[in-house]
Structure 1
Amino acid sequence: MSKTTPATLALTKAGIAFELFPYDYDPDAPRVGLQAAQALGKASEQVFKTLMTLADGKPACVIVPSDCEVSMKKLAAALGAKSAQMMKPADAERLTGYKVGGVSPFGQRKSVPTVMDETAILFDQVLINGGQRGLLLGVAPDEAVRAAGASLADLTA
């Protein structure tokens, strides 16, 4: 596994400190984020998943705790849209340059509006995908928001 990804390069370029958390990725896990939290011995609410969505048909990135579901209604409101839905996996891979299961909000091919669940600020460090399956990055929440160009909002159902 490479420890250098577009995500780690983007954080390094932005001068943002991060910690690498490699783990054994299980492609058959029903919920990859929960499997990652368990593999690392971390609380599931501290491990955040990155999802690609469409808000009024336009791409957006959403970062939420791995043990939660996104409220599409709250996401749409946070983005000033009327509706939101999940993006098709193939479209997410093409847009971000990452494989599903390894999508990071950092270092994506194209910058899109990004929203992070407000519970991130409850932690000194949150774990977010590092740009490949089996690699999470530990980042201070305020730095993650800055690096992703994200806003904070209540996003969970």
Structure 2
Amino acid sequence: MAIEKVKEYFKKYGIDNRVQEFDVSSETVALAAEALHCDLCRIAKTLSFMVAENPILIVVAGDAKIDNPKYKAHFKAKAKMLTLKETENLIGHAVGGVCPFAINEGVKVYLDESLKRFQTVFPACGSGNSAIEVTIEELEKYSGYDEWIDVCKGWNN
């Protein structure tokens, strides 16, 4: 199970005990915010795409949406989300629990500017009923991100 992979990954940093598991689903931003009793925007949703032949992850704030022209300008390609099956196979986590931790080798991680307005955010931990609260600095460290990007809309209106 992917949550066990994430917990094992976090053990080397001594934070596996910070992973929260819920009795309810946290598979969507709304459900995660409800389970965590926090604002939707503080959920760090992890979206999976294919760029050329390479799977990537983009972590964005819960109230942000991909802006297709910004995405295309940055990646020089149209935004193509992975299917449910592709996500699990290429990323290593199933949709609903996708996170930037303990992912398959070679998957690049990008963090969207929409997250920088928060001190802490809540990404999933590999299952549809888990999360961890991390600072932005911790998100950078534990995700092994490649770069900060600006490919979203709807959050800074």
* Range into which the TM-score falls when normalised by the shorter chain: 0.7 to 0.9
Amino acid aligned to 1:89: L
2:126 is aligned to 131
Gaps of 5+ in 1: none
Q: CA deviation at 1:76?
A: 4.0
Specify whether residues 73 and 59 from structure 1 end up closer, same or farther in structure 2 by C-alpha distance, changes over 3 A only: farther
Using the alignment, how far apart are the partners of 2:72 and 2:29 within structure 1?
23
Distance 1:67 1:106 in 2: 21
Could you give the per-residue CA deviations for residues 53-108 of structure 1, whole angstroms, max 9, x where no partner exists?
A: 01234211111122221123323444x43332111110111112222111111001
- Residue identity in the other structure for 1:147: Y
State the alpha-carbon separation in 1 of the partners of residues 143 and 54 from structure 2.
Answer: 17
Q: CA deviation at 1:134?
A: 0.5
CA-atom RMSD in angstroms: 2.4
Q: Is 1:66 aligned to residue 62 of structure 2? A: yes
CA drift of 1:109 comes to 2.1
Asked whether 1:42 is paired with 2:70, we answer: no
Change (3 A) 1:155 1:12: farther
Residue 86 (str. 1) matches residue 81 (str. 2): yes
The alignment covers a number of residue pairs equal to: 150
Q: What TM-score does the superposition give when structure 1 sets the normalisation length? A: 0.82
Among 128, 139, 150, the residue aligned to 1:154: 150
SS of the equivalent of 1:62 reads strand
Which ranges of structure 2 fall in alignment gaps of 5 or more residues? Answer: none
- Matching residue of 2:111: 116
Q: Label 1:16 to 1:26 Cα distance change in 2 as closer, same or farther (>3 A).
A: closer
Q: Label 1:135 to 1:26 Cα distance change in 2 as closer, same or farther (>3 A).
A: closer
The question of 1:8 aligning with 2:7 is answered yes
The CA deviation string for residues 83-139 of structure 1, in whole angstroms up to 9 with x for no partner, is 321111101111122221111110012231111111322222110011111001111
Residue 74 to residue 146, structure 1, CA distance change in 2 (3 Å): farther
Structure 1 residue ranges (4+ consecutive) displaced by more than 6 angstroms after TM superposition: none
Identity of aligned residues (%): 23
2:89, 2:143 → 1: CA distance?
Answer: 18
